[in-house]
Amino acid sequence: MGDHELASVAAPVEPVAPGTVARRHRRLTGLSGLLLFACMFLPALQGGEPVTPFEAPLALPPYLYGLVFALIAMSRTSGGLAFGVIALRVLAGLFVLGSVVLVVLVPPAGIIELILGTVLLVTVGLSNTTEPRVAVTGIVLSLASIVWFGFLSVTPDALLGVYLSLASSIGLFAGCLDWLRELVVAPAMEVPRAVAAATAGRHRQ
């Protein structure tokens, strides 16, 4: 064994930060999230004339969540994952605030959205968030979206945007479920600790 081979064997193995793990779910999660976001600009329901979700602010959360999960899936750094967590918290907070307004306008629907928004906020957490909790947040969101778009898809007013939203929600659910499965095999650190480790590594270089 030569000196070069000895040096290779003796070299320490660096821990892999959660945002840099080669997750196989990324393509499915990313594409599904992007498609869901794009559906925000497609005709969804026929109401005298085609209505797009972009015209109804209270209907935007699923599409914005799709964008955030797409960006998280495409990010290869722990810093990107941390920013994604912040975005998820902000979205959940806005979701809760919007549902409070909806409770005043349409109480039954508002209460359901308030419960869902609270569940999403509690799932992602306000501190010490881990990558598995992010994946579970995606599962909860996509399941709720499947139920919602599935309901709309059987109505006579459903248009292309609803069907594509349902398909992309199913893809996002499958991607996040595979993400969680991968995390069971290769556990990840807490997001704040991962960011700190990555920052310390850059300072040492």
At 146-185, the pLDDT tens digits run: 999 999 999 999 999 999 999 999 999 999 999 999 988 8
- Residue appearing with tokens 């898809």: 153
For residue 196, pLDDT beyond 70: no
Lowest mean pLDDT segment, chosen from 21-25, 74-78, 79-83: 21-25
> Mean pLDDT throughout 31-40?
97
Q: Measuring CA to CA, which residue among 11, 72, 14, 21 is closest to residue 187?
A: 21
Per-residue model confidence (pLDDT) at position 32: 97
Considering just the CA atoms, what is the radius of gyration of the chain in Å?
A: 20
Share the mean pLDDT of the chain. 82
Q: Please report, rounded to a whole number, the percentage of residues in the chain having pLDDT higher than 70.
A: 80
CA 44 to CA 67: how far, in whole Å?
18
pLDDT band, very low/low/confident/very high, at 10 (cuts 50, 70, 90) = very low
Cross-strand partners of 45: 51, 158
What is the Cα–Cα distance from 11 to 69, expressed in whole angstroms? 36
Q: Residue 102: pLDDT band by 50, 70, 90 thresholds?
A: confident
Q: How far apart are CA 61 and CA 49, in angstroms?
A: 23
Q: Could you tell me if 165 and 14 are in contact, meaning their C-beta atoms sit under 8 angstroms apart?
A: no
pTM for the structure as a whole: 0.78
Distance CA 81, CA 122 (A): 18
User: pLDDT of 60-79, one tens digit each?
Assistant: 999 999 999 999 998 878 88
Residue 49 belongs to what H/E stretch? strand 49-51
Q: Which residues of 116-132 are buried (b: 16+ CB within 10 A; e: fewer)?
A: bbebbbebbbeeebbbb
C-alpha separations of 91 from 16, 72, 117, 169, 205 in Å: 28, 14, 9, 17, 35
50: part of which helix (H) or strand (E)?
Answer: strand 49-51
Contact indicator for 188, 130 with CB cutoff of 8 Å: yes
Judge whether residue 117 has pLDDT over 60.
yes
